[in-house]
Structure 1
Amino acid sequence: MTLLRVVARPMIASLFVYGGISAIRSPKVRAQRAEPVADLIRKAAPQTPVDAATLVRVNGAIHVGAGLALATGRVPRLSAAALAITMPPTTLSGHRFWEETDPAARANQKVHFLKNLAITGGLLLSTLDPDPQKKFIARRAKDKVVEASETVQAQLGR
């Protein structure tokens, strides 16, 4: 692993691990903001018992698990993808700047909204980050196709 990855992955992951632990420990503060997401799930799947506090805890657990995986370099692309998938609902429920009436609160929420947008972009880029010891997935797939083609050609006697 390069020095850049050794430093950068834990830096971005720290936000998720810290926030995830906080969400698991005290979900009630965030549950109020997560209620619109719980309502959407209830409308989409009425038979599913959904509680906003449980959603907050599940999201927190994903952030802790995927954050630790990203920080340690274990399945970094998958963990970055998991974190990126959780960001839109987290951002839309937690930083609804368009609903704020106080200009200072609106500006603060807008900054957090845009910060989360930027972090999501970084996570999405991380899903494409190749492991320096491994060929990029598209290249590995192409090599497998070439290898299979050569095997078939050899068996056919060409």
Structure 2
Amino acid sequence: MLVRRLARPMLSAIFISGGIGALRHAQGHEPMTENVKPFLKKIGVPTDDMETLIRANGAVMVGAGALLAIGRLPRLSSLALLVSLVPTTATHDFWAQSDPQAKQMQQIQFFKNLGLAGGLLLAAVDTEGKPGLGYRAKMAGDSLGRSAHTAKLEARLAAANAKSALS
């Protein structure tokens, strides 16, 4: 569909651009990671080499963004981008800013990322008009249930026919 062919590259452009920036200038992103370190420590990620983590996040953004842009593994790449967006969004701590201008800039970036997360969620669940796994599993279960019911009826008919043939 034309909308998907246009929307996917548009959605992924910011991730590819940001990922390239993180790969090229990881040390420039390090000061913004202070808000993320406590969360990373809590989930067991070592924070002594933030530059490597920034580059890894950037690589995910470039790779998954490129895959989404060309329509390859769009659901998986959308989920990968969504995961990569979490630490990036956490760096925009508008609630901790005292300068009104800085607060507004951080708030804009934070809510921009929330909007991107919404777009990625939509892309992650887009089955392109094909039935999703839940629907297919339900149909398979219903089909098995109907088959079992039909088998029972046929067994009863066969037993009734055998009984009447013996009489």
TM range (shorter): 0.7 to 0.9
Residues 149 and 50 of structure 1: CA distance in aligned 2, closer, same or farther (over 3 Å): farther
Deviations 1:7-26 (A, max 9, x none): 00110001101111110111
- Alpha-carbon distance in 2 for matches of 1:54, 1:38: 13
Does the 8 Å contact 1:20/1:61 carry over to 2?
yes
In structure 1, what residue type is equivalent to 2:16? V
- Alpha-carbon distance in 2 for matches of 1:63, 1:10: 13
Q: Of the candidates 33, 42, 55, which is equivalent to residue 53 of structure 2? A: 55
Choose 1 or 2 for highest CA Rg.
2
Quote the residue 2:159 is aligned against: none
TM-score normalised according to structure 2 size? 0.79
1:105 equivalent in alignment to 2:102: yes
List alignment gaps of at least 5 residues for structure 1: none
Does the 8 Å contact 2:75/2:124 carry over to 1?
yes
Does the 8 Å contact 1:35/1:52 carry over to 2?
no
Which residues of 2 match residues 34-113 of structure 1 at below 5 A? 34-42=33-41, 44-45=43-44, 48=46, 50-93=48-91, 95-113=92-110
- Alpha-carbon distance in 2 for matches of 1:147, 1:72: 36
- Alpha-carbon distance in 2 for matches of 1:143, 1:63: 36
TM-score normalised according to structure 1 size? 0.83
Q: Percent identity?
A: 39
**1:118 Cα deviation from its structure 2 partner:** 1.1
List alignment gaps of at least 5 residues for structure 2: 156-167
**1:43 Cα deviation from its structure 2 partner:** 5.2
- Alpha-carbon distance in 1 for matches of 2:108, 2:83: 20
In structure 2, what residue type is equivalent to 1:81? L
Does the 8 Å contact 1:38/1:51 carry over to 2?
no
- Alpha-carbon distance in 1 for matches of 2:102, 2:15: 23
Does the 8 Å contact 2:35/2:93 carry over to 1?
no
**1:139 Cα deviation from its structure 2 partner:** 1.7
Q: Of the candidates 118, 121, 125, which is equivalent to residue 124 of structure 1? A: 121
